[in-house]
A and B are shown apart, each in its own frame.
Chain A
């Protein structure tokens, strides 16, 4: 088996709007796959169906062969899928290290116990993960005091806590300065290579997409309009049409 994720015939309607309409693709093992498209193309809906936040109307999502469509986020996470949020979601009343520790404790199914003191549980592995994303020196800081770029790296550390096989990243570099963006994506690429992860990410920044994706999916109005390597997608007339507005001759009216 070579696919980490196989998606078939994914659909979601909101009222009369077909937010995602018959989308299918494959995420190969070890691949970094970008999902792009203009605003309103259905990226977020599609992404949220993969993470379990939105339940698909129809369609199959196979994680290493197992159908996970319609499962709640926590079950999908237990099956080995880590995720980061577009707008960072961390635990503001905890330190940086504790944020990672909670994820680790959850992974080790320790969170049900009202005993013992938890701040020493999984402290070592948490520190290792923070070192991996270059945050070891900030472990004891309050998470509410972090700069935005650091929060994004913390998110990455949390997402790695369950030793995932697949990583889903929703606009990983949104809100960051250009140099930070490149650094974060280089870091992600290194971790992906070291750990044999497969990554699907949505992204607005084209430098990030063309610089770091192995393959690119292009969504427009809920449908997949193009798929291929960055170079293929860059040259694709339909993609130009989607982004620049000029329709290719075959679709133009008389």
Chain B
């Protein structure tokens, strides 16, 4: 019993730090409608900054409590300044863009920050100082609790009270609350929105960094903190209700206590529990515990330029000719190039499946890797557990992915926009943690090894031809689905939900089916991937793979049908080339994403089309609509 009390108090101490991060995230979303993926990075910077100011530099270590808390504050202020800079330079350009773009841009930022942190502070874990004056422990009910934890428990409600005071008792706070309810109106009343947004972003960054800085005496500082924190912060903000500070506080306590007791009760499924709670809350209260339904939310994906037309005889002929040319590759290239080419084909299919969901269905997914990974594990388990031949594995993989996507999709399609995107992320994390923690079946961290293609396909060239055939047919199938009656239904729901419902289309069912189809094709790509690599690890379904898919689709152009294939080829080639030059691929990739979002939101295909249109306009009157 006493032990449980201590556990609960430790949970409350963690809740304070989580609340600081989440309150910043929720404030920023409330006012700017941007989900800041880089918020975990600001938390991490706050922690590194505090480490530097309190022990890294040395002088503060001798200055007692003033030095420590001064260092913490200094770090948070420095990060706040950085936040303001980011808002002015980057985010200000994309407030009006569809919800997908700010999410991606801030993710690119997170990648860059993580790599920079590694450059500046090195890859090792850093241990911070104890807080002067709070080094000891307090005895409660015969159990010891660090005094610093008590200080943290007090900090959370203090910050909540402070925020409440700022939001309700200051002129600036009134503006923030007004903007949270109706941005356009606040703008129309002559309030300088730019300054308001910069201020809110700086405040959010300050809170995130403060949350990171106060954690320094409790845990080691390392460069994976950002992803760890952002996922938890997302859960908190979504559960509490986007934009609601009090909701964030309640949810932070809920999540921290779930963590504290989940480890005791279900050590194996702690993470799963967290996301299950989120899924349940979202289904019962789609806008979170204290959230309010949004009026008109902006579209998640940009509208298509012009109409999509079926390929026609010429299109299919070009496609077949291209496949024929690709089939010749093993005759001229060595084994390494051939196996890289097979990987590119597999990711082209993965990107095309994501495009069915996002580009055609209008549902942004931040967890598409889940179905890729399930496909890989399905094939691996069939091959290792049943000794099945490759053909069976290539069916078993997609089937497992379809099963997973059927369950997750049922929840996800009940939401839309960023809420849907975050729920896909949650389900991907559930799938990942199941795979990661279920050692007996999946091998956990060690993965599954020894998944080889049948003998006839084991030669790199033969496997390449198998990949080409499977991916080629699957991509052709995806394209024909787009122009099938079901494809039209899916697009109808994306273009106008109101009109779709008004002509008898059951949006939830159509999107669910689209979600499952996209999952199945991703699973097929994953199954091929397992045979290509000969092994499967949990990384196959981790966040970076989902993001790779998003970048491929975006790079190629979300609003075109050839986009995902072009994007996959360009992205994979770039990744291989850049990785051979430098260890800082994340930095390059992050910069690329940011650049892409700002300079070419319609991707390479869109860029090419714009160039072509400009050229044809120069050549003469050619006002035909673009076919893609």
A interface residues with partner B (beta carbon < 8 Å): 51, 53, 72-74, 77-78, 83, 85, 89-95, 98, 101-103, 105-107, 110-119, 121, 142-144, 158, 161-162
Show 8 residue pairs from A and B whose CB-CB distance is below 8 angstroms, ordered by the A residue: A93-B303, A93-B307, A107-B503, A111-B510, A113-B484, A114-B487, A117-B310, A162-B504
**Neighbouring A residues of B485 by C-beta, 8 Å:** 105, 110-114, 118, 121
Q: Knowing A115-B484, A142-B625 touch, does A94 contact B307 (C-beta < 8 A)?
A: yes
Nearest residue (CB) in A for B304 is A93
Q: Is the CB of B503 within 8 A of A85?
A: no
Which A residue's beta carbon lies closest to that of B513?
Answer: A112
Evaluate contact between A117 and B504: CB separation under 8 angstroms.
no
Q: A116 to B488, alpha carbons, bound, how many Å?
A: 12
Check A92/B304 contact, CB under 8 A, given A74-B501, A74-B506, A111-B488. Answer: yes
The yes or no answer to B120 lying at the interface (CB within 8 A) is no
- In the complex, the answer to whether B484 meets A117 with C-beta atoms within 8 Å is yes
Min distance, Cβ A165 to any Cβ of chain B, angstroms: 15
Report yes or no: A74 in contact with B486, Cβ–Cβ below 8 A: no
Output the least CB separation between B505 and chain A (Å).
6
Question: A117–B477 Cα gap in the complex (Å)?
Answer: 11
- What residue of chain A has the Cβ atom nearest to residue B559's Cβ? A93
Query: Which residues from chain A contact B494 at a C-beta distance below 8 Å?
Result: 93
* Whole-angstrom distance between the Cβ of A125 and the nearest chain B Cβ: 14
B255: min CB distance to chain A, Å: 32
A119-B310 in contact (CB<8A): yes
Chain A contact residues: helix, strand, loop or mixed:
loop
Contact, CB under 8 Å: A105 / B488: yes
Bound Cα distance from A73 to B481, whole angstroms: 26
The answer to whether B381 has its CB under 8 Å from any CB of chain A is no
Which residues does chain B contribute within 8 Å of A119, judged by CB atoms?
A: 310, 483
A73 touches B502 (CB 8 A): yes
Pick the contact of B495: A91, A95, A103, A111 (CB < 8 A): A91
Question: Which A-chain residue is minimally distant from B484 (CB atoms)?
Answer: A114
B499 within 8 A of A: yes
The reply to whether A161 and B303 contact each other, CB–CB distance below 8 Å, is no
Q: Which 8 A-B pairs have the closest CB atoms?
A: A89-B499, A91-B495, A93-B304, A111-B489, A103-B503, A89-B496, A118-B485, A73-B501
Other 13 A-B pairs with CB < 8 A, given A107-B504, A117-B484: A73-B501, A85-B498, A90-B496, A91-B492, A91-B499, A92-B303, A94-B308, A94-B491, A106-B489, A107-B503, A112-B485, A116-B484, A143-B307
Q: Are B505 and A142 in contact (CB under 8 A)?
A: no
Q: Which residue of A lies closest to B625 (CB)?
A: A142
B483, A106: Cβ atoms closer than 8 Å: no
What residues on B are CB-neighbors of A114 within 8 Å?
Answer: 480-481, 484-487, 517
B484 and A74 contacting across the interface, CB-CB below 8 Å:
no
B306 at the interface (CB under 8 A from A): yes
Question: A89's contact among B306, B489, B502, B506, by CB below 8 Å, is which?
Answer: B502
Residues B483 and A118 in contact, CB atoms below 8 Å apart = yes
CB-CB under 8 A from B502, the residues of chain A are: 51, 73-74, 77, 83, 85, 89
A73 vs B504: C-alpha distance when bound (angstroms): 7
A51-B498 Cα distance, complex, nearest whole Å: 11
- A-B contacts counted at CB < 8 A amount to 111
Q: Please name all residues of chain A whose beta carbon is closer than 8 Å to the beta carbon of B480 when the two chains form the complex.
A: 114-115, 117
Contact A118 B487 (CB under 8 A): yes
Minimum Cβ distance to chain A for residue B498 (Å): 5
Q: How far is the CB of A143 from chain B (nearest CB, A)?
A: 8
Does B492 lie within 8 Å of A102, measured CB to CB?
A: yes
A244 to chain B, nearest CB (A): 30
Q: With A and B bound together, what is the CA distance between A73 and B500 in angstroms?
A: 10
Which single residue of chain B is at the shortest CB-CB distance from A155?
Answer: B499
Contact A72 to B501, CB < 8 A, known contacts A114-B481, A117-B480: yes
In B496-547, the 8 Å CB interface with A consists of 496, 498-499, 501-506, 510, 513, 517
> Contacts A111-B489, A113-B484, A113-B486 given: A142-B499 contact, CB under 8 Å?
no
Contact partner, B488, options A74, A102, A115, A162, Cβ 8 Å: A102
Q: Check if A117 sits within 8 Å of B483, measured CB to CB.
A: yes
Q: What residues of chain A lie closer than 8 Å to B487, measured between beta carbons?
A: 114, 118
How far does the alpha carbon of A144 sit from the alpha carbon of B303 in the complex, in Å?
10
Taking CB as reference atom, which chain A residue is nearest B481?
A: A114
Q: How far is the CA of A126 from the CA of B486 in the complex (A)?
A: 18
Instruction: Specify the chain B residue showing the minimal Cβ separation from A104.
Output: B503
Kindly identify which residue among B304, B483, B504 contacts A74, using a CB–CB cutoff of 8 Å.
B504
Docked pose: A197 CA to B488 CA in angstroms:
28
CB-defined contacts of A111 to chain B, threshold 8 Å: 485-486, 488-489, 505, 510
CB nearest neighbor in B for A89: B499
Alpha-carbon separation in the docked complex, A113 to B489 (Å) = 10
For B495, list chain A residues within 8 Å (CB).
90-94
Measured between beta carbons, the chain A residues less than 8 angstroms from B310 are 117, 119
Q: In the complex, which residue of chain A has the Cβ closest to the Cβ of B506? A: A74
User: How far, in whole Å, are A101 and B229 apart by their CA atoms in the complex?
Assistant: 48
B357 to chain A, nearest CB (A): 15
Given contacts A89-B498, A91-B492, A115-B480, contact A158 B503 (CB under 8 A): yes
Contact B488 A98 (CB under 8 A): yes
Interface string of B465-496 (1 = CB under 8 A from A): 00000000000000011011111110110111
A118-B501 contact, Cβ under 8 Å, with A93-B304, A93-B491: no
Q: Which residues of A contact B308 (CB under 8 A)?
A: 93-94
| B98 to A: closest C-beta gap in Å | 14
Complex-state Cα separation, A93 to B487, whole angstroms: 12
Report how far A210 CA is from B94 CA in the complex, Å: 47
Report the bound CA distance from A8 to B487 in whole Å.
41
B360 to chain A, nearest CB (A): 9
- Chain B residues lying within 8 Å of A103, measured Cβ to Cβ, are 503
Alpha-carbon separation in the docked complex, A111 to B506 (Å): 10
Chain B residues closer than 8 Å to A90, beta-carbon distance: 495-496, 499
Residue of A85, A91, A162 ringed by the most chain B CB atoms within 10 A: A91
Residues of A within 8 A of B517 (CB): 114
Kindly name the residue among B494, B499, B503 whose own CB sees the greatest number of chain A CB atoms within 10 A: B503
Residues of B within 8 A of A107 (CB): 503-504
Give Cα A35–Cα B487 distance, bound, in whole angstroms: 38
Question: In the complex, what's the smallest C-beta–C-beta distance from A216 to chain B, in angstroms?
Answer: 25
Give Cα A143 to B480, complex, Å: 22
The digit string for B289-332, where 1 denotes a CB below 8 A from any CB of A, is 00000000000000110111010000000000000000000000
Would you call B491 and A106 a contact (CB within 8 A)? Answer: no
Query: Which chain B positions have C-beta within 8 A of A106?
Result: 489, 503-505
Could you say which residues of chain A place their CB within 8 Å of the CB of B505? 74, 106, 111
Let me know if B504 and A94 touch, CB within 8 A: no
Nearest residue, chain A, Cβ from B497: A89
Question: CB-nearest residue of chain B relative to A122?
Answer: B485
In the complex, the answer to whether B501 meets A91 with C-beta atoms within 8 Å is no
CA distance A115 to B485 in the complex (A): 7
Chain B hits for A51, CB < 8 A: 502
Whose C-beta in chain B lies nearest to the C-beta of A112? B486
A47 to B303, CA, bound (A): 29
Across-interface contacts of B486 in A (CB, < 8 A)? 111-114
**What is the CA–CA distance of A114 and B477 in the complex, to the nearest angstrom?**
9
CA distance A163 to B480 in the complex (A): 29
Residue of B nearest to A121 (CB): B485
Nearest A residue to B483 via CB reads A117
How far, in angstroms, from A225 to B251 measured CA to CA in the complex? Answer: 49
Nearest residue in B to A96 (C-beta to C-beta)?
B307
Chain A hits for B510, CB < 8 A: 111
Expressed in whole angstroms, the Cα–Cα distance for A102 and B490 within the complex equals 11
Residue of A with least CB distance to B499: A89
Query: A35 vs B496: C-alpha distance in the bound complex, in angstroms?
Result: 26
Say how far A116's CB is from chain B's closest CB, in angstroms. 7
Is A142 in contact with B503, judged by CB distance below 8 angstroms?
no
Nearest neighbor of A84 in chain B, beta-carbon distance: B502
CB distance from B302 to the nearest CB of A (A): 11
Q: Which residues of A contact B481 (CB under 8 A)?
A: 114
CA distance A158 to B487 in the complex (A): 18
Q: When the two chains form their complex, are residues A85 and B504 in contact, meaning their CB atoms are under 8 A apart?
A: no
For the complex formed, measure the closest distance between the CB of A129 and the CB atoms of chain B, giving whole angstroms.
13
